[in-house]
């Protein structure tokens, strides 16, 4: 099978890594990829948002399965174009990707489906939002409805702070188009977890859940990032709770989409808060998480290409359920100086050649010089994943690996999965 992975981050390196292990995969293309994916297949320099370019590439190279990593090309209709060209694709059409690209619409879908989520009100006019704010208890959450690359959520401790956030989005246009519609949302308390379902629009198969770390600093301090680390599975989300997530959240949401004529083929990611009243949805995404994918995919014992192709082709019902390795995986992200603000790049990376046995280094922002020197090329540079019999074992190995790697300005969180230690 000729497979194309779209994207250039750590998640896409993990997808390429899982696919490269499949005996079904004869050719692996990654567009545009990074220095890590170049070791597994052929990087093709077509940007992830070049819908026409990617469709032409898939046609020319007679690709038989496209796996789309990021949300933006999906929201822009990449899967629509690929499927119109007859190319099986893992990733929803733009209509399905709207579950992520419009948080306001996602709320509407959840309300219609009876899916538990934080109470919310939507606004496009500042005056209306400010008037309504007076009736909201604090903390209150201010959310941009559109795609804001992780910058669209502000948990406001006071009404003054919420007002500032509303003015920033609705008045100053601080998030551009993404913040022209905003939600005021009930603040939920509990433990956060990322749950994933693989679906062909009919059959729904849960993948392992994971926890990620959004704040840049230890103990959840500092600004939000794309994600600084992850672990999987989640010891406190037992099988019966996972079943509740499947039956009360994933299935009804997909059924509601189907009702609206949207056949969702891809991965549905539910960002959940486990509250005293059960799981509630914080957000839906139309793809795997990054860095959750770097923890979940290394635990997959089944053939990733067979599973993904079955979902893309509408044949998931005929596919055996995914099998998972025992134990756990812990992923630590190594970031550039300045990240999540403007970050330094071009720094030489050393130490990857002598990682402890079994540790996986997933590249994100990296590039290789013609002389072979590996350099930083983005905010999140690498995700190091270790597997172990327990979270404690995986965590110890992951941090032993972190200690071997260096680049100027490198920073990382020291507390990934620490809360799971006794």
Considering the complex, state which of residue 50 and residue 100 has its C-beta at the smaller distance from ligand GLY: 100
Q: Which does 292 bind (CB under 5 to 8 A by kind): ligand AMP, ligand GLY, none?
A: ligand GLY
Give me the residues paired with residue 212 across strands: 230
**DSSP letters of 41-63?**
SEE----TT-HHHHHHHHHHTT-
Closest CB 290 distance from ligand GLY, rounded Å: 5
Give me the residues paired with residue 347 across strands: none
Instruction: Give the phi and the psi of residue 145 in degrees, each rounded to 5.
Output: -75, -30
**DSSP letters of 63-84?**
-SEEEE-SHHHHHTTHHHHHHH
Q: Which does 188 bind (CB under 5 to 8 A by kind): ligand GLY, ligand AMP, none?
A: ligand AMP
Angle at 396 between CA 394 and CA 402, to 5 degrees: 100
Q: Which residues bind ligand GLY (CB under 6 A)?
A: 212, 227, 285, 289-290, 292
DSSP state of 353: G
325, 389 Cβ separation under 8 angstroms: no
CA 79, 299, 382, 174 dihedral sign is: positive
CA–CA distances in Å: residue 158 to residues 99, 135, 364: 29, 12, 36
Closest CB 283 distance from ligand AMP, rounded Å: 4
Q: Which does 289 bind (CB under 5 to 8 A by kind): ligand AMP, ligand GLY, none?
A: ligand GLY
Closest CB 10 distance from ligand GLY, rounded Å: 10
Q: Which does 50 bind (CB under 5 to 8 A by kind): ligand AMP, ligand GLY, none?
A: none
CA nearest to 102, candidates 148, 67, 140: 148
Q: Which residues bind ligand AMP (CB under 6 A)?
A: 118, 141, 153, 155, 185-188, 192, 214, 271, 282-283
Beta carbons within 10 angstroms of residue 40's beta carbon: 18
Q: Which does 227 bind (CB under 5 to 8 A by kind): ligand GLY, ligand AMP, none?
A: ligand GLY
Closest CB 188 distance from ligand AMP, rounded Å: 4
Q: Which does 340 bind (CB under 5 to 8 A by kind): ligand AMP, ligand GLY, none?
A: none
Considering the complex, state which of residue 166 and residue 299 has its C-beta at the smaller distance from ligand GLY: 299
Helix (H, G, I), strand (E, B) or coil at 14: helix
Q: Which does 118 bind (CB under 5 to 8 A by kind): ligand GLY, ligand AMP, none?
A: ligand AMP
Q: Which does 282 bind (CB under 5 to 8 A by kind): ligand GLY, ligand AMP, none?
A: ligand AMP
Closest CB 198 distance from ligand AMP, rounded Å: 20
Closest CB 27 distance from ligand AMP, rounded Å: 35
Place of tokens 């082709």: 313
Considering the complex, state which of residue 40 and residue 118 has its C-beta at the smaller distance from ligand AMP: 118
Considering the complex, state which of residue 57 and residue 335 has its C-beta at the smaller distance from ligand GLY: 335
312, 200 Cβ separation under 8 angstroms: yes
Considering the complex, state which of residue 187 and residue 324 has its C-beta at the smaller distance from ligand AMP: 187
Considering the complex, state which of residue 1 and residue 74 has its C-beta at the smaller distance from ligand GLY: 74
Which residue's C-beta sits nearest to ligand AMP?
Answer: 283
**243: which 2 tokens?**
């079943």
Do strands 89-90 and 65-68 pair parallel, antiparallel, or not at all (unpaired)? parallel
């Amino acid at each position: 099978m000729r497979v194309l992975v779209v994207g250039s981050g750590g998640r896409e390196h993990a997808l390429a890594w899982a696919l490269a292990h499949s005996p079904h995969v004869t050719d692996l293309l990654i567009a545009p990829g990074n220095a890590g994916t170049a070791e597994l297949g052929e990087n093709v320099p077509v940007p992830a948002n070049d819908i026409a370019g990617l469709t032409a590439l898939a046609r020319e190279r007679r690709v038989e399965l496209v796996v789309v990593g990021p949300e933006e090309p999906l929201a822009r209709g990449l899967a629509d174009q690929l499927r119109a060209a007859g190319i099986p694709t893992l990733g929803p059409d733009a209509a399905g990707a709207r579950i992520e690209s419009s948080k306001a619409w996602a709320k509407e879908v959840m309300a219609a489906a009876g899916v538990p989520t934080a109470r919310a009100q939507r606004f496009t006019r500042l005056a209306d939002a400010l008037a309504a704010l007076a009736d909201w208890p604090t903390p209150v959450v201010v959310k941009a409805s559109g795609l804001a690359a992780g910058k669209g959520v502000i948990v406001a401790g006071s009404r003054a702070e919420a007002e500032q956030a509303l003015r920033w989005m609705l008045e100053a246009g601080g998030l551009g188009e993404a913040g022209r519609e905003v939600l005021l949302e009930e603040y939920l308390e509990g433990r956060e977890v990322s749950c994933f379902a693989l679906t062909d629009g009919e059959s729904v198969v849960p993948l392992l859940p994971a926890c990620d770390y959004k704040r840049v600093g230890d103990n959840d301090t500092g600004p939000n990032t794309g994600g600084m680390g992850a672990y999987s599975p989640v010891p406190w989300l037992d099988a019966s709770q996972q079943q509740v997530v499947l039956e009360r959240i994933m299935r009804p949401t997909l059924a509601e989409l189907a009702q609206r004529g949207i056949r969702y083929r891809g991965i549905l990611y539910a960002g959940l808060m486990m509250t005293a009243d059960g799981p509630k949805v914080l957000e839906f995404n139309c793809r795997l998480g990054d860095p959750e994918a770097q923890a979940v995919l290394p635990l997959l014992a089944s053939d990733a290409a067979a599973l993904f192709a079955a979902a893309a082709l509408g044949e998931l019902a005929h596919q055996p359920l995914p099998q998972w390795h025992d134990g756990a995986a812990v992923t630590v992200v190594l970031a550039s100086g300045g990240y999540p603000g403007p970050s330094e790049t071009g720094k030489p990376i050393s130490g990857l050649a002598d990682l402890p046995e079994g540790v996986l280094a997933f590249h994100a922002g990296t590039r290789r010089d013609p002389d072979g020197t590996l350099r930083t090329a983005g905010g999140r540079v690498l995700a190091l994943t270790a597997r172990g019999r327990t979270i404690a074992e995986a965590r110890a190995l992951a941090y032993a690996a972190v200690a071997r790697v260096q680049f100027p300005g490198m920073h990382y969180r020291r507390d990934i999965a620490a809360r799971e230690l006794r």
